[in-house]
A and B are shown apart, each in its own frame.
Chain A
Amino acid sequence: MSVLVIAEHINGGVRDVTRELVTAAAELGGPVTVGVIAADPTPLVDQVNLPGVDEIVTVAAGASEFENDTYLAVVEALIQERRPRTVLTGFTVNSMGFAPALAAKLGTGFAADVFSVRDEGGSLVAERAFYGGKVYAEIDFPQKETVLLMLRPATWQPAEGAGSASVSELSVPAVESRARHNEFVEAPAADVDITTADFLLSIGRGIGEKDNIPVFEELAEKMGATLSVSRPIVDAGWMPSARQVGQSGKTVKPKIYLAFGISGAVQHLAGMKTAGTIIAVNTDPEAAIFNVAHYGAVADLFDVAEALAALY
């Protein structure tokens, strides 16, 4: 099944998700075309010339960094030009800015946060989750000539090595960019680097209120762990973002990840699922974190924290 992959890049580097999309595309059989859109796409070509890629189409358009009006117009032109059965983007912040809009404009089939795709006798079947990951769904796209899928990052193995793709250029008329990239701003420097810690004690929404944070700060100190948190704790302003684990925070790989009151949203799991040993304490036996944890306890967090503190 013919597949068009839209490459994603930032600061001159192709992002990991693009290599993952190439793997997914190759699994669908191909031919696989990768579209590279940048003010100057030439330096990016080698980075997407991966095994499994048949053709690279470069489009010199727009600004140096991502702008959604440019991507929408160019990907539309690429679809008209190459007529792929399937178009793949990452389920990323950038692609959220144009992929659903293009699907609405063209009336293609569409699904986002897809973690499995297959070709069933010429028909595309995708899988994605609903209701906090507790239920999966098979999705199909009756009567759709083209289907645009946004794939979940860190799900397919990234394609590696040198490929032998042909390279061609496509010229697309310039579009007015109504949402323009100004600059990138890095997160402020922090007093702690959770990505280098061997032992993270991580807390989430389950701790209930801000006043409970010292309980776990003290426990972490006693145990020799570094304290990290899930997104709701940062959203609430209780802890700085430097301590946040997950897709919009840091990706960590400690020897031990001890989680208290973290339910395990997909975005959180993406940031810690490769930790050496994951231990989760949660009151909800159905919490998604138990699917990745090596050891689990369904218990009151504070009882366990108190009992642990007494041992150190």
Chain B
Amino acid sequence: MKIVVCVKQVATLGDEVEFTDDERDVDPDFLEFAINEWDTYATEEALRMKEAAGDGEVVVVTVGDEDAEDAMRRALAMGADRGIRISGDDIPPGDPITTARALAPVVGGESPDLVLCGVQSSDAVQGSTGAALAELLSLPRVAVAKNVELQNGKALVHRELEGGLIDVTEVDLPAVLTIQTGINEPRYATLRAIKQAEQQDIDVVEPGDLGAPAARVRRMFVPPKGEGAELLGSDASEIAGRIKTLVEEKLR
């Protein structure tokens, strides 16, 4: 069983922010990077499927510059077999369609039995790359999988709808599934495995023709502050006292 997992190196912002000169993105000096949380669940799910099948291969694919390999190496340290990076300097932020176009030839070239993506990335939250990728590969797709049961040539997938309602969907394989957090408990990588993954060779490929972008960030900005919360002080006992008073007042 061959499974491709798409992973993303995501960025988080600290307390301060400055923008690039063209104001179309945050200055990378103000960002910290890590593997997207959803993708650790997708990687874990793929590893479990391979283990249950008894043999197979888990291939992780990412789009980005060399620094983006860190996320993939984390997936390799969890137990994925092989990594491919599509160099993605030209891919605009916030354009999942173009990201899917970069992924498609590489993922398709692997002829996988299954493709797993995280539902969304924590930094862009478009929830779209997986479904767009499926279309470009002419594969069926199921978004927001909370449970996956492989059957003969099919999968029974629990889609998690709003409010927690589960839609049981039967999908023909191969397919692209986007994986929701909580579907499993992602394993920790051992220090030894992390070290080994750092040394592992990664295939680097150039993206093909990406076509016109689906969107353009005109400018980024810090959202205007609302009235904001009234601060309750800085000392724990003072805060606790204010909370107690508020609770008594508002419940009356």
Contact = CB atoms under 8 A, between A and B. Distances in A.
A18 interface: no
Contacts of A130: 26, 93-94, 123-124, 220
Interface in B222-237: 222-223, 225-226, 228-234, 236-237
A100 B96 contact: yes
A47 B156 CA distance: 32
B166 interface: yes
A307 B131 contact: no
A298 B236 CA distance: 10
Interface stretch (A48-56, A160-168, A209-217, A243-251): A243-251
A297 B12 contact: no
Contacts of A218: none
B3 interface: no
A223 B233 contact: no
A290 B228 contact: yes
A304 B239 contact: yes
Interface stretch (A29-37, A38-46, A78-86, A137-145): A137-145
Given A139-B215, A185-B166, A296 B94 contact: no
Contacts of B136: 104
Contacts of B162: 92-93, 153, 247-248
B181 A179 contact: no
Interface residues of B, number: 91
Nearest to A134: B13
A12 interface: no
B101 A184 contact: no
A107 B131 contact: no
Contacts, number: 293
Which interface class (under 10, 10 to 19, 20 to 34, 35 or more) fits A? 35 or more
Given A100-B97, A130-B220, A136-B220, A235 B13 contact: no
B205 interface: no
Contacts of B221: 135-138
Interface string A168-183: 0000000000111111
Given A130-B93, A130-B124, A179 B164 contact: no
A138 B217 contact: yes
Interface string A72-97: 10000000000000000001111011
A119 interface: no
B244 A308 contact: yes
A103 B132 contact: yes
Nearest to A16: B162
Nearest to A11: B165
A100 B240 contact: no
Given A299-B236, A304-B240, A136 B142 contact: no
Interface in A102-160: 102-105, 107-113, 125-126, 128-144, 150, 153
B206 interface: no
B231 to A, nearest CB: 6
A307 B212 contact: no
Interface of B: 11-15, 17, 26, 31, 93-97, 100-101, 119, 122-136, 140-144, 156-172, 175, 178, 181-182, 185, 211-212, 214-223, 225-226, 228-234, 236-237, 239-244, 246-247, 250-251
26 contacts: A10-B165, A69-B140, A96-B131, A97-B142, A99-B131, A100-B100, A103-B132, A104-B132, A107-B214, A111-B214, A112-B96, A132-B13, A135-B13, A137-B219, A179-B140, A184-B165, A187-B165, A187-B166, A199-B251, A241-B164, A248-B164, A256-B250, A278-B229, A291-B225, A294-B229, A295-B230
